[in-house]
Amino acid sequence: SQQGEEDPQALSIQEGENATMNCSYKTSINNLQWYRQNSGRGLVHLILIRSNEREKHSGRLRVTLDTSKKSSSLLITASRAADTASYFCAPLGVSGNTPLVFGKGTRLSVIA
Amino acid sequence: DSGVTQTPKHLITATGQRVTLRCSPRSGDLSVYWYQQSLDQGLQFLIQYYNGEERAKGNILERFSAQQFPDLHSELNLSSLELGDSALYFCASSVAWAGDTQYFGPGTRLTVL
């Protein structure tokens, strides 16, 4: 298993601004997933990007993947107060059948 | 609603006791995962079951055990509870393997007094 490391640990922005958070990992991956967790609730899957993809969009979310740098970024455009949550990345190793290991996440606060 | 259910929602018990947490996966999902989330440790993977068999083990203490039943629901047993076991316990399920999207339940908040 490998763990992604999210950066920054915490981010505070105004409503309407864009939020960018980054994820770094150590070894080659099969895919990388991003999840969101509202306080005290279960994680919710946001997006999955495969190792042969460079960019993926889902609504206001844009995920990029740079396998040469072993990093990914999650961009939330035109943020809303409801985006306030912790965001986790979960890289999946090449073997494809090892458990996802979550890091400590990025805590995003969107201020109205 | 993820389709994953967990009971109970809250559990308050004393040190030394034993509790059982229950999880029902989404319909059709064969894999079940258990996680522990505490403030200082973050989200820790405990164990994965696939179609009744243990598939992967993480940072699960010997005092903890789990199983997945023929109807695919799973139970996590925590015994000889300590104050430090107080945490949110999440169950997640996926279709088959770890690379699939995982769907998380609402969690069980365990408080050990």
B101-111 pLDDT tens trace: 899 999 999 99
Q: Which of A45, A87, A106 to mutate to test the interface with B (most CBs of B within 10 A)?
A: A45
Do B88 and B105 form a contact (C-beta atoms < 8 A)?
A: no
Bond prior to B106 in cis (omega within 30° of 0):
no
Q: How far is B79 from chain A (nearest CA, A)?
A: 24
Q: Are B89 and B107 in contact (CB under 8 A)?
A: yes
Query: Would you state the pLDDT for residue B37?
Result: 94
What per-residue confidence (pLDDT) applies to B39?
81
Name residues of chain A where pLDDT drops below 50. none
What's the pLDDT score for residue B73? Answer: 97
Distance from CA of B56 to the nearest CA of A (A): 7
What pLDDT, on a 0 to 100 scale, did the predictor assign at position A1? 66
State how far the Cα of A25 lies from the Cα of A10, in Å rounded to an integer.
19
| Predicted pLDDT at B66 | 98
| Best residue in A29, A52, A86, A97 for a mutation probing chain B (most B CBs within 10 Å) | A97
> Which segments of chain B have a pLDDT < 50?
none
Whether chain A has a CB inside 8 Å of the CB on B60: the answer is no
Q: What is the pLDDT of residue B100?
A: 84
- A97/B contact by beta carbon, under 8 A: yes
Q: Please judge whether A42 and B48 are an interchain contact, meaning their C-beta atoms are less than 8 angstroms apart.
A: no
